[in-house]
């Protein structure tokens, strides 16, 4: 899972859950869960020719629960601070 957000300062931050595990709850709803990380900055090359990489910080855990084929609930625990948001599929 990955999410792109913008902070109050306008900086982009990617939140990623690279090891998200899928399971099915007793209700039949699908669920993804795993450790969440923030990735920020841009990849580039400095004058010496060494490659620089974006910063990565482990934040806590994330759970994504399917509600319908177009909607889900995202729960994130940022080291004790709980955040829950309903999210929807972006249709083109």
pTM of the predicted structure, to 2 decimals: 0.72
| Pairwise pLDDT comparison (1 vs 73), residue with the higher score | 73
- CA Rg, the chain, in Å? 16
pLDDT in tens, 48-69: 455 545 678 888 999 999 998 8
> Which single residue is written with the structure tokens 């972006």?
90
CB neighbours of residue 17 within 10 Å:
20
pLDDT in tens, 6-48: 878 887 788 889 899 999 999 888 999 999 988 766 655 445 4
């Amino acid at each position: 899972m990955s999410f792109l957000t913008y902070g109050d300062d306008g900086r982009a931050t990617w939140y990623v859950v690279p090891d998200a595990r899928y399971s099915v709850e007793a209700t039949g709803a699908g669920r993804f869960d795993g450790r969440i990380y923030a990735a920020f900055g841009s990849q580039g090359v400095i004058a010496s020719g060494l490659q620089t990489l974006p910063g990565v910080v482990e934040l806590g855990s994330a759970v994504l629960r399917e509600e319908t084929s177009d909607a889900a609930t995202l729960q994130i625990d940022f080291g004790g601070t709980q955040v829950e948001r309903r999210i929807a599929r972006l249709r083109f």
